[in-house]
């Protein structure tokens, strides 16, 4: 029997006593709400659940077929996937509904279970989204949006209740890929302004400032993903006649990840009560390409070609209703020219939730929740 149920069943006698019990019940329910974890998502298209649907200028959208072909009712939702993405699966693992897109909630009270600020094309650096896709919600803007949600939580739960809620909540933060796509694109402006190492340093330092802002707003349990082996995406592979990965962008993605891990360790030492779980997306991707049977999975027979698209490696165009898509999505690692299939998103979210230190350091999400 729960505490608040006991409060009701133990009530009896006078009207005053009953009123006191009802008041105690309300307090206990509010305390339970405040203490329950939520999932707040900040990121890019890997975890976008529909924010870009509301961006009028963005050309990074997925709210049309064939996206969502394996989603319930074959519905395209704005997820860059044939079905659900890693944010969906991680929420399920924690026992929560998917955190809804922030821009779908304008004027409404944010749910106590979390909110997603993720935006396709977004980067750590403010200019990234504009360079690539005309409009995206940068990490800084996503943090600003979280500030609005934070203030509403304080109003709803009270300062101590909001603090308890946020300290138990997971902050899933997925950024960095688009910054590197912007750097290595043909005619890149930022590549003329910074060496790759200067760019790494700028990304890491900008990220740290914004994570400190989240910490100041109550975030204590951070789940941060590194940049994957993005030189192995179909859009990068198609530039090599052999279809092999682009070495340079992979090299600098890995160098950035090294700086990111060092930054997270330093931030933890500077921030009392903060803990983090880091997902080695790069290592998990390379292992999937080379040794997918180690996951107990033997069906990934296509590691280079996108399932949905047109042309060389199905990567000459994004996945649109005019493209073709493969009949068996489970044997493809990539859904389109950039993004993984639903089955890969599920696999990686499993690793994030309860994977070993091969890919999750210093802890996984299951362990982070218990801290």
Active site residues: 45, 336, 339
CB 361 within 8 A of CB 278: yes
Distance CA 239, CA 247 (A): 12
Phi-psi region of 120 (alpha: psi -120 to 50; beta: other; left: phi over 0): beta
DSSP 101: B
Q: Give the Cβ contact number of residue 126 at 10 Å.
A: 14
HEC letters along 116-145: ECCCCCCCCCCCHHHHHHCCCCCHHHHHHH
| Residue 200 C-alpha from the chain's centroid | 21
Q: How far is CA 179 from CA 27, 102, 126, 131, 245, in A?
A: 46, 22, 9, 10, 18
């Amino acid at each position: 029997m729960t505490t608040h149920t006991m409060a009701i069943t133990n009530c009896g006698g006078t009207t005053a006593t009953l009123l006191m019990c009802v008041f105690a019940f309300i307090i206990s329910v509010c305390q339970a709400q405040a203490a329950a974890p939520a999932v707040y998502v900040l990121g890019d298209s890997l975890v976008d659940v529909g924010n870009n649907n509301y961006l009028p200028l963005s050309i990074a959208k997925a709210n049309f077929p064939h996206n969502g072909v394996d989603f319930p009712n074959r519905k395209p939702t704005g997820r860059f996937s044939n079905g659900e993405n890693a944010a969906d699966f991680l929420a399920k693992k924690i026992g929560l509904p998917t955190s809804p897109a922030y821009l779908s909630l304008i004027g409404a009270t944010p749910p106590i279970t979390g909110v997603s600020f993720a935006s396709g094309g977004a980067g750590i650096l403010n200019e990234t989204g504009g360079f690539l896709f005309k409009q995206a919600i940068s990490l800084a803007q996503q943090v600003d949006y979280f500030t609005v949600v934070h203030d509403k939580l304080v109003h709803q739960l009270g300062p101590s209740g909001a603090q308890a809620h946020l300290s138990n909540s997971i902050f899933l933060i997925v950024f960095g890929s688009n910054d590197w796509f912007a750097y290595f694109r043909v005619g890149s402006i930022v590549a003329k302004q910074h060496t790759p190492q200067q760019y790494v340093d700028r990304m890491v330092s900008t990220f740290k400032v914004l994570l400190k802002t989240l910490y100041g707003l109550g975030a204590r349990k951070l789940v941060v993903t590194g940049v994957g082996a993005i030189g192995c995406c179909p859009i990068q592979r198609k530039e090599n006649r052999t279809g092999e990965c682009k070495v340079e962008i992979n090299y600098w993605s890995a160098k950035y990840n090294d700086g990111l891990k060092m930054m997270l360790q330093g931030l933890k030492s500077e921030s009392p009560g903060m803990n983090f779980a880091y997902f080695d997306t790069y290592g998990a991707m390379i292992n999937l390409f080379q040794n997918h049977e180690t996951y107990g999975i033997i069906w990934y027979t296509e590691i280079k070609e996108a399932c949905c698209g047109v042309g060389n490696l199905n990567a000459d165009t994004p996945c649109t209703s005019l493209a073709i898509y493969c009949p068996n999505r489970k044997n493809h690692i990539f859904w389109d020219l950039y993004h993984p299939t639903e089955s890969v998103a599920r696999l990686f979210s499993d690793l994030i939730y309860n994977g070993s230190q091969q890919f999750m350091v210093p802890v996984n999400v299951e362990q982070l929740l218990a801290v």
